Amino acid sequence: MSFSVVQGFTKSLAMTVLSEIGDKTFFAAAILAMRYPRRLVLAGCLSALVVMTILSAVVGWAAPNLISRKWTHHITTVLFFGFGLWSLRDAYKGEGGDDELGEVEAELDADLKKNKETVKNDGKDDEDLKKQNRTFLTQIVSPIFLKAFSINFFGEWGDKSQLATIGLAADENPFGVVLGGILGQALCTTAAVIGGKSLAKQISERFVALSAGVLFIVFGLQSILSPVQ
Q: Residue 160 pLDDT more than 70?
A: yes
Angstrom distance (rounded) from CA 151 to CA 170: 27
pLDDT at 182 over 70: yes
Q: What is the DSSP letter of 161?
A: H
The full length of the chain comes to: 229
pLDDT value, residue 186: 93
Whether the model pTM is above 0.85: no
Collapse the DSSP code of 229 into the 3-class scheme (helix H, G, I; strand E, B; otherwise coil) and give the result.
coil
**Helix H segments across the chain?**
5-20, 24-35, 38-66, 69-93, 98-121, 127-133, 136-140, 143-156, 160-171, 174-202, 205-225
Q: Over range 3-14, report the average pLDDT.
A: 86
User: Does 100 map to a domain?
Assistant: yes
Confirm if 188 and 17 have CB atoms less than 8 A apart: yes
Question: How much is the pLDDT for 56?
Answer: 92
pLDDT band, residue 34 (cuts 50/70/90): confident
Domain extent at residue 36: 5-67+96-115+144-203
Residue 170 lies in a domain: yes
Report how many domains make up the chain: 1
Q: What does the CA dihedral 6, 74, 24, 92 come to, rounded to 10 degrees?
A: 110
- Residue 78 falls within a domain, yes or no? no
Instruction: Compute the mean pLDDT over every residue in the chain, rounded to the nearest whole number.
Output: 78
Q: Is 228 left (phi over 0), alpha (psi -120 to 50) or beta?
A: beta
Residue 191 included in any domain: yes
Question: Residue 229 domain-assigned?
Answer: no
Provide the greatest CA pair distance for the chain: 69
CB 4 within 8 A of CB 173: yes
pLDDT at position 229, please?
Answer: 56
